[in-house]
């Protein structure tokens, strides 16, 4: 273990990799600070720019964006009561009241230190859990991988915001869009409508940029956002001994919760931060004071969301199964660089695995430096009117979409999907299940076909393995609990007709 991590630090401390780690966490922090521009759009935006980099440098850069956004989101939550990132929504509950009491510095300080502790401990857990899990996953066959991916997609749909039936519809649409193009077995075109551009399928980058980037720009343009900052010059960023005494156990509890929930498909940083807040409120001696500026309500959730962001890499790297739409885009980045995450990654690409793990230690330290001394810079970014920001975002989206294949069709596709994503969000259709299904769909189809070839068309092969059977039964249970309540609600009206 120590030889491996020393080998990883030797890779992470190469000048080029240090630079890309810094750029990743810097852009990730900016992504977290800027409301309406989340990690999926940011990673998709920079993905085309990584094609000229080595796979290690590219993954270090894109990973830094993901866990860096968890840090940046707390700044706007505390100072403006506007979560820059979904995982920081709960931080508004206690962080903003602390700012109104003149304690914004303490809230931001404990948030940064809690994030550092939670993220670092989760990386330690990643180091010890990932190798044995990879060894176990070597025993998995196509039926197990199909069932696990189906379960992953089901859980993400189950915990999505908005009506569950709409989330299922989005997942079904994602599977359909993922099957557009030439069939990999027969070579025949599917769902191309006779359009030559679609023979290679719908490209991922325009799809993600449209659904997350363009749609957010359109939504933000119709909002009148009043930004009010109580403390423009934040002081006393270092928590006092009293603050540490109140926060140390919430930080440790949040780290444990976040690490465990990050392993589960569909849970991730958002759910981890909410559960951590609920736990702290329940174990507190003064639960009635929550909502008035309790530092425990900042320390726990911020530690939890950062720990979950780090542990989400475990199923990605060892099983090739993403736990969230953002991690699914990272999976696509691996594949685009010619690397297949899974059980063989550690043995076949040890430099990549241990280099990325070591870079996370370095990135977390960089984030502490970026988040505390540069608070004033992030505040100025929040104060920039959106009318000046959205043309820049649109410009980078257009350049990113065009630079992949130098095709105008990619730009048209991004704009069409951007308008579609805008309408989805207006009518409460969450795009996250669509993106996850779009990425996992072809992989699931391949695993399913391999399984049926092995069994000569006998579907019972999916129930012969305890892992595969258990995953399918759990997925079926979640689907039933999602759909049945809607049937019960509709039944009286149907009877009345």
Residues 35-42 have a mean pLDDT of 74
Q: Name which of 152-166, 237-251, 388-402, 476-490 the model is least confident about.
A: 476-490
How confident is the model over 418-444, as pLDDT tens digits? Answer: 999 899 988 888 887 888 888 888 888
pLDDT of residue 491: 40
In a domain, 377, yes or no: yes
The average pLDDT across 322-347 equals 85
Average pLDDT over residues 340-361: 89
> Mean of the pLDDT values across residues 131-143?
84
Q: What is the pLDDT of residues 145-178, one digit of tens each?
A: 899 888 888 877 766 666 778 888 888 999 999 8
Residue 494 belongs to some domain of the structure: no
Question: Across all residues in the chain, what is the average pLDDT?
Answer: 83
The helix-helix angle for 268-283 and 241-263 (nearest 10°) equals 130
Res 492 pLDDT > 50:
no
**Whole-number pLDDT of residue 487:** 46
Q: Is residue 44 part of a domain?
A: yes
CA dist., res. 133 & res. 151, Å (int): 18
pLDDT band at 40 (very low <50, low <70, confident <90, very high): confident
Residue 230, φ and ψ in degrees, nearest 5: -75, -35
pLDDT value for 255: 93
Tens digits of residue pLDDT in 264-317? 766 678 778 888 888 888 888 888 888 888 888 889 999 998 898 888 898 888
What share of the chain has pLDDT > 90, as a percent? 17
495 lies in some domain: no
Domain presence at residue 497:
no
User: Does the residue 433 lie in any domain?
Assistant: yes
Instruction: Answer yes or no: is pLDDT of 231 > 60.
Output: no
491 falls within a domain: no
In the predicted structure, residue 102 carries a pLDDT above the cut 70: yes
What domain range includes position 28?
Answer: 2-485
Count the domains in the chain. Answer: 1
Residue 208 resides in a domain: yes
């Amino acid at each position: 273990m120590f030889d491996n991590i020393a080998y990883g630090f030797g890779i992470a401390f190469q000048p080029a990799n240090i630079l890309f780690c810094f750029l990743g966490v810097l852009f990730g922090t900016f992504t977290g600070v800027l409301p309406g521009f989340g990690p999926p759009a940011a990673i998709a935006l920079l993905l085309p720019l990584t094609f000229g980099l080595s796979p290690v440098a590219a993954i270090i850069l894109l990973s830094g964006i993901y866990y860096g956004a968890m840090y940046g989101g707390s700044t706007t939550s505390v100072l403006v009561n506007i979560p820059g990132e979904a995982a920081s929504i709960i931080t508004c509950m206690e962080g903003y009241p602390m700012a109104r009491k003149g304690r914004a510095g303490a809230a931001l300080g404990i948030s940064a230190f809690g994030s550092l502790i939670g993220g670092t401990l989760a990386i330690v857990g990643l180091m010890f859990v990932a190798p044995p899990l990879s060894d176990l996953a070597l025993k998995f066959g196509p039926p197990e991988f199909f069932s696990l991916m189906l379960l992953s997609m089901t859980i993400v749909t189950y915990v999505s915001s908005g009506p569950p039936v709409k989330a299922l519809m989005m997942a079904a649409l994602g599977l359909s869009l993922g099957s557009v193009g030439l069939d990999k077995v027969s070579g025949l075109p599917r769902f191309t409508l006779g359009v030559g551009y679609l023979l290679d399928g719908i490209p991922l980058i325009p799809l993600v940029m449209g659904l997350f980037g363009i749609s957010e720009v359109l939504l933000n343009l119709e909002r009148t956002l009043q930004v009010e900052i109580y403390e423009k010059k934040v002081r006393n960023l270092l928590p006092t001994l009293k603050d540490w005494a109140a926060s140390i156990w919430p930080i440790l509890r949040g780290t444990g919760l976040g690490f465990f929930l990050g392993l589960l498909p569909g849970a991730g940083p958002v759910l981890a931060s909410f559960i951590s807040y609920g736990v702290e409120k329940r174990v507190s001696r003064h639960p009635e004071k929550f909502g008035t500026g309790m530092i425990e309500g900042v320390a726990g959730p911020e530690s939890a969301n950062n720990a979950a962001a780090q542990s989400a890499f475990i199923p990605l790297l060892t099983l090739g199964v993403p736990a969230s739409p953002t991690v699914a885009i990272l999976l696509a980045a691996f594949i685009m660089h010619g690397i297949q995450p899974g059980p063989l990654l550690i043995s076949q690409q040890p430099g990549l695995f241990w280099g990325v793990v070591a870079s996370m230690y370095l990135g977390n330290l960089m984030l502490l430096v970026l988040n505390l001394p540069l608070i004033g810079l992030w505040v100025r970014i929040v104060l920039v009117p959106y009318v000046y920001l959205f043309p820049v975002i649109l410009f980078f989206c257009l350049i990113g979409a065009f630079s992949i294949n130098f095709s105008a069709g990619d730009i048209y596709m991004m704009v069409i999907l951007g308008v579609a994503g805008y309408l989805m969000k207006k009518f409460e259709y969450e795009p996250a299940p669509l993106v996850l299904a779009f990425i996992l769909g072809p992989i699931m189809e391949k695993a399913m076909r391999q399984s049926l070839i092995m069994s000569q068309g006998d579907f019972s092969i999916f129930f012969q393995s305890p892992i595969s059977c258990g995953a399918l039964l759990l997925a079926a249970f979640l689907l039933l609990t999602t759909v049945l309540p809607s049937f019960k609600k509709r039944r009286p009206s149907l009877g009345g007709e």
